[in-house]
């Protein structure tokens, strides 16, 4: 999943992701590129035993950091790939599920 979503930051979905950012986030294009690189690095990091635990911790921080963008997209009705953003009532539990999954797959 992380490799797929990371690559999406550099495709035609990039503009949708920039629109997902709350207005108070500066440098939208750079932030989307940075988060794409973070997701790609995390995809590799969780595969390597030497970096798996650190990748899990950083993923939890990452999933918390991007939650405001997902909430903003849901509340503002920002479409993603031509479809409505996931409603907040679903998005927050999904994000919490990603956090639990990151912890579970990278625990010692």
pLDDT in tens, 10-63: 999 999 999 999 999 999 999 999 999 999 999 999 999 999 999 999 999 999
Domain around 89 = 2-106
The residue count of the chain comes to: 108
Q: What is the pTM of this model?
A: 0.89
Q: Structure tokens of 75? A: 């509340």
Q: What is the model's pLDDT at position 33?
A: 97
Helix, strand, coil share (%) of the chain residues, nearest 5: 70, 0, 30
User: How many structural domains comprise the chain?
Assistant: 1
108: pLDDT strictly greater than 90: no
Contact (Cβ atoms closer than 8 angstroms) between residue 70 and residue 86? yes
pLDDT in tens, 59-97: 999 999 999 999 999 999 888 888 888 888 998 999 999
């Amino acid at each position: 999943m992380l490799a797929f979503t990371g690559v999406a930051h550099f495709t035609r979905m990039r503009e949708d992701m920039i629109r997902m950012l709350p207005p108070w986030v500066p440098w939208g294009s750079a932030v989307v590129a940075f988060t794409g690189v973070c997701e790609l690095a995390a995809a590799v990091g969780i595969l390597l035993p030497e970096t798996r635990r650190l990748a899990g911790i950083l993923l939890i921080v990452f999933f918390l950091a991007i939650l405001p963008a997902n909430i903003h997209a849901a509340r503002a009705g920002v479409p993603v790939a031509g479809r409505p953003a996931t409603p907040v009532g679903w998005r927050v539990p999904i994000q919490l599920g990603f956090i639990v999954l990151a912890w579970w797959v990278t625990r010692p």
